[in-house]
Structure 1
Amino acid sequence: MTVPGYDEDLTLATRLADAADALTTARFRALDLAVSAKPDRTPVTDADTAVEDAIRAILAAERPDDAVLGEERGGSADARGRAWVLDPIDGTKNFLRGVPVWATLIALVEDGTPVVGMISAPLLGRRWWAASGGGAHLRDAAGERALSVSGVAALSDAYLSTTDLNTWSEYHSRERYLALAEACWETRAFGDFWQHCLVAEGALDVAAECIVNPWDVAAAQVIVTEAGGRFTDLSGAPTYKGGSALSTNGLVHDEALALLRR
């Protein structure tokens, strides 16, 4: 996990993920899990807030000069300087229903660009990470390995995923997404963080989301790009703050964007 310039940040991100995993695994399927709703009607659990508070406490001690932006406690990640962008539990609906597909997402953003990404999914037994210039990596039951996107060069051979088909009607265009789906070989809905990680692994070729928050995809952006892929919003801008996300192996990116544009 040695990356010149980011060794200490990756080590810290690993500690943050370890602390998060200890809390989330202890609260998963807990009978006394407290659940409330945010103004946008999305659920939040006591595990979400406990994880973010624990990570913030470590960052306050280890990186007191860095800004923090988190899903539950707010904050900011300005265009200049360093900021940690946190999603304590990405996939809270899965967490609530007892589905083991959820993760803690941790990103370090420097001058507006994600430079370190850490995604830890303890119930899947998988952890992905990357840092600028150091490649993307995965640790699972088979060990640790470097990641590389697929070599699929045509959408007709591509494997596509999204999070929720219904969101395309509300936030973008159901017809545009279905046009992309029809152009691809196969479609699934792995959803949330996992689909972007699968793009980085080369298992998927395209992952598209019409509505995201910065904390949903900041870590994924650096992991996908360091694996050799391409990450943009649906306008084609290479940003985690565009409100939407498209990650691909790079080879089919422009064709996918053209189909998704309204």
Structure 2
Amino acid sequence: MPEYADDLALALRLADAADAVSVTRFRAADLRIDTKPDRTPVTDGDRAVERAIREILGAERPDDAILGEEYGGERTAGRQWIIDPIDGTTNFLRGQSVWGSLIALAVDGVPVVGVASAPALGRRWWGATGEGAWAAALPSGAHERLQVSGVRRVEDAFISFNALKFWDEAGWLEPLLALVRASWRDRALGDFWAYMLVAEGQLDMAGEHDVRVYDLAALVPIVQEAGGRFTSLTGGDGPWDGTALATNGLVHDEVLAILGSHPGTSAR
């Protein structure tokens, strides 16, 4: 049996539980919206989903650590579940369909299992180290194996960079514009979805600033098992840096070189 098969099976069940809660709050007339100390929005749906996931983990993996967006936790050695109950909360509270629950297992800080479930889009993605990356239509579509694109040059690449504002605030606007000018096409697709499109081969690059580990951890195994590469914007491995760059692997070094060769790159 593959090393993380049981953990992946549990992560998929956690995603089922998350979807069962989140869909009841999506576009609900009585949805409660608060503002957290960091000025980001949170809904009662975010909190309810994380509670549901934590309850199951407490029963089935009581010795594992948990880090979640809404109820906290710290990076630890060993096994740790990392949860973003609703990634794309702004979309969720505005009634837009691009949002999902992200569930990851990290071992010594390295994500080895990831599930991204987007019930409003009717799609789920998952992957685990050594087991490939997969997607299916919800609720019970046939599984399809994911493979990144074969695009080899940035001039032929279709890229996404999420929110322009965050690149500007980080002092990376000029490097980003240089990358946009060098690429074939660009879009500002947000949150987890752009990374899943990289894994599907529909985009060749996705990157962003101002992200947390719970925004990224579940995405790492999916992109990597689809044949892609996932680093920070300065080339460091893992989802802990506060920035992210996912590509098909073939254009990764060229993207890093473009970003790193323009003023402003050292601003972060």
Fold shared per TM-score above 0.5: yes
For 2:92 and 2:170, the matched residues in 1 are separated by 24
For 2:7 and 2:171, the matched residues in 1 are separated by 36
Match of 1:33 among 26, 31, 37: 31
Q: What per-residue deviation string (whole Å, max 9, x for no partner) do you get for residues 166-221 of structure 1?
A: 11111241111111111110001121100001000100000010221000000111
* SS of corresponding position for 1:75: coil
Residue 143 of structure 1, CA deviation? 2.4
Match of 1:119 among 69, 91, 116: 116
**Residues 14 and 118 in structure 1, CA contact (< 8 A), matched pair in contact too:** yes
Gaps spanning 5+ residues in structure 2: where?
none
Match of 2:127 among 125, 130, 151: 130
Residue 105 of structure 2 corresponds to 108
For 2:37 and 2:183, the matched residues in 1 are separated by 36
Within a 5 Å distance, the mapping from 1:168-183 to structure 2 comes to 168-183=167-182
Residue 77 of structure 1, CA deviation? 2.7
Residue 39 of structure 1, CA deviation? 1.1
Residue 51 of structure 1 corresponds to 49
Q: What per-residue deviation string (whole Å, max 9, x for no partner) do you get for residues 8-46 of structure 1?
A: 111110111001001111100001001100111110000
**Residues 172 and 210 in structure 1, CA contact (< 8 A), matched pair in contact too:** no
Query: Aligned AA for 2:53?
Result: I
Say if 2:84 is the partner of 1:87.
yes
Residue 235 of structure 1 corresponds to 234
**Residues 160 and 207 in structure 1, CA contact (< 8 A), matched pair in contact too:** yes
**Residues 147 and 227 in structure 1, CA contact (< 8 A), matched pair in contact too:** yes
* Seq. identity, %: 58
Query: Aligned AA for 2:39?
Result: R
Query: Aligned AA for 1:189?
Result: A
* SS of corresponding position for 1:143: coil
For 1:260 and 1:155, the matched residues in 2 are separated by 12
For 2:13 and 2:211, the matched residues in 1 are separated by 26
Residue 156 of structure 1 corresponds to 155
Residue 158 of structure 1, CA deviation? 0.2
For 1:178 and 1:23, the matched residues in 2 are separated by 40
Query: Aligned AA for 1:215?
Result: Y
Residue 123 of structure 1, CA deviation? 0.8
Q: What per-residue deviation string (whole Å, max 9, x for no partner) do you get for residues 51-87 of structure 1?
A: 0011001000000000000000001231x20000000
Query: Aligned AA for 1:26?
Result: T
Q: Give TM-score, length-normalised by structure 2.
A: 0.95
* SS of corresponding position for 1:137: strand
Misfit runs of 4+, over 4 Å: none
How many corresponding residue pairs? 259
Residue 193 of structure 2 corresponds to 194
Residue range with higher mean Cα deviation, 92-101 or 167-176: 167-176
Residue 114 of structure 1, CA deviation? 0.4
Residue 255 of structure 2 corresponds to 256
Gaps spanning 5+ residues in structure 1: where?
none
Q: Give TM-score, length-normalised by structure 1.
A: 0.97
Query: Aligned AA for 2:88?
Result: G
